[in-house]
Amino acid sequence: MKEILPGAAIGVLGSGQLGRMFAIAARRMGYRVHTFSPEADTPTGQVSDVEVTASYDDLDEVRRFASNVRVVTFEFENVPAATAAAAAERAPVRPAGAVLHTTQHRLREKTFLSRAGLPVTPFRVVRRLEDLTAALVELGCPAILKTAGFGYDGKGQYRINHPAQAEAAWHGVGRQEAVLEKFVHFAKEVSVVAARSEDGRFVHYGVVENEHRNHILDVTIAPARVTEKVAAAAEELTRTVFEKLDVVGVLCVEFFLTHHGDLLINEMAPRPHNSGHFTFDACVTSQFEQQLRAVCGLPLGSTRRMTPAVMVNLLGDLWTGGEPDWAAAAAVENIKIHLYGKLRARPGRKMGHLTALAPTTGEALETALRARDLVAAGPKRQ
């Protein structure tokens, strides 16, 4: 592949915070950024050179968009496969549409992982209530019923604690194709963000530890507090995923770490990931610059982490009592503030994040949580 050099236009399907941070990295390196989504004045659009507002189903508009850029990439995985295919008629799409097709659908994803011999949570396909009833007998309770497609941040998931809850859960997922997973009593949730170039070079950011609240990522600790054996296993499993899927670009693999020290792949995201946001401040090359380098055919950058880091998400709940106290957070040494430019705050919506840098993960965690508490205290003083 011939390199796509600075000055070229890069197309992004999607317009949220991931695209925003990608655009910042790309423009810093001299690229132009075009974004495509159904909304206007978006987080990505605010920092892009061109913002195209159209439906993903408007394939003619997708083709026109792709005709004006040198390469197309994604900032979220729920772009219809037909959209990726239409873009590919006019420009290279990286990661390829086939990667998107596999990872945006839980059943296809888990089937791929299982057939590849990779460790996954035991699961069953559910297409009707009778399938769910039978699957609960096989896997037992508790279990998690998840819609097969278009789910993130816990959406489309229902925990079943007793077989009598099966019908309610089936209606809860809209009586559509779903996956039932055996509930895993895990010790930690960890993830690995990595990148791969077209010539097969693979780099990763190490294993990070994730804490969730209400199914939404709350805290990421880098590096994860795990053994060297677990870290090496997670990194090698991630490499295998990249090679089996033939990924060109950035992808995140999320794992459950069991109390016995085993790793189970939970989900994959074919794009930069919330758990990799710390790389913007703590690493030589951020996950967003790495995505740019990979899709443009440039050499991948160093993933060296210069210091331990902790990221905490800022959700719309912080705005309930008024504008958060940004000055208080800015006064905390070694805190970086990232806000996404979203026009409306609502509970559970990711509005930004804080990253704390410190000599140890313990100090970084204490600093990040303290800074977020100070931000939240602002409205209460008004």
The full DSSP string for 245-295 is HT--EEEEEEEEEETTS-EEEEEEESS--GGGTTHHHHBSS-HHHHHHHHH
Q: What angle is formed at CA 237 by the lines to CA 232 and CA 241, rounded to 5 degrees?
A: 150
48-63 mean pLDDT = 98
Give the three-class secondary structure for 154: coil
Domain count, the chain: 3
What the block records as the tokens of 359 is: 């000599």
**Looking at the domain assignment, is residue 164 inside a domain?**
yes
Q: Which residue in the block uniquely carries the two structure tokens 């993130």? A: 152
- If you count DSSP H runs as helices and E runs as strands, how many of each does the chain have, helices first? 12, 16
Same domain, 224 and 345: yes
- The pLDDT confidence band at residue 152, using thresholds 50, 70 and 90, is low
**Looking at the domain assignment, is residue 104 inside a domain?**
no
CATH number, residue 152: 3.30.1490.20
Residue 76 has what pLDDT?
Answer: 86
Same domain, 83 and 137: no
**Looking at the domain assignment, is residue 112 inside a domain?**
no
**Could you tell me the pTM of the whole model?**
0.94
Q: What percent of the chain has pLDDT over 90?
A: 90
285-312 mean pLDDT = 98
Same domain, 206 and 353: yes
What CA–CA distance (Å, rounded) separates 94 from 30?
Answer: 20
CATH number, residue 76: 3.40.50.20
**Looking at the domain assignment, is residue 41 inside a domain?**
yes
What CA–CA distance (Å, rounded) separates 342 from 314?
Answer: 12
Element at 146 (helix H, strand E): strand 143-147
What the block records as the tokens of 179 is: 């996956």
Neighbours of 382 (CB within 10 A): 8
Domain around 311: 186-381
Same domain, 273 and 153: no
- The pLDDT confidence band at residue 382, using thresholds 50, 70 and 90, is very low
Same domain, 142 and 164: yes
Which of the 8 DSSP states describes residue 305?
B
Q: Which has the closest alpha carbon to 93: 104, 101, 22, 23?
A: 101
pLDDT tens for 107-121 read: 999 999 999 999 999
Same domain, 202 and 341: yes
233-245 mean pLDDT = 98
- The pLDDT confidence band at residue 151, using thresholds 50, 70 and 90, is low
Domain end position, chosen among 158, 182, 206 = 182
Task: Sheet with 186-196: list strands edge to edge.
Answer: 263-269, 249-258, 186-196, 202-213, 216-222, 309-315, 350-357, 335-339
Q: Which has the closest alpha carbon to 94: 205, 150, 6, 13?
A: 13
Residue 156 has what pLDDT?
Answer: 75
Same domain, 160 and 200: no
- Answer whether residue 153 shows pLDDT above 60: no
Three-state secondary structure string covering 213-251: ECCEEEEEEECCCCCHHHHHHHHHHHHHHHHHHCCCEEE
Same domain, 144 and 208: no
**Looking at the domain assignment, is residue 270 inside a domain?**
yes
Domain end position, chosen among 182, 199, 233 = 182
CATH number, residue 301: 3.30.470.20
User: Do 339 and 20 meet the contact criterion of CB atoms below 8 Å apart?
Assistant: no
The full DSSP string for 93-130 is BSS-HHHHHHHTBHHHHHHHHHHTT--B--EEEESSHH
User: Do 283 and 262 meet the contact criterion of CB atoms below 8 Å apart?
Assistant: no
Same domain, 170 and 221: no
**Looking at the domain assignment, is residue 340 inside a domain?**
yes
**Looking at the domain assignment, is residue 368 inside a domain?**
yes
Same domain, 239 and 148: no
Same domain, 39 and 156: no
Q: Is 251 exposed, middle or buried (0-12, 13-18, 19+ CB in 10 A)?
A: buried
Same domain, 178 and 84: no
| Ranges 79-93, 231-245, 368-382: which has the least confidence | 368-382
**Looking at the domain assignment, is residue 110 inside a domain?**
no
88-93 mean pLDDT = 97
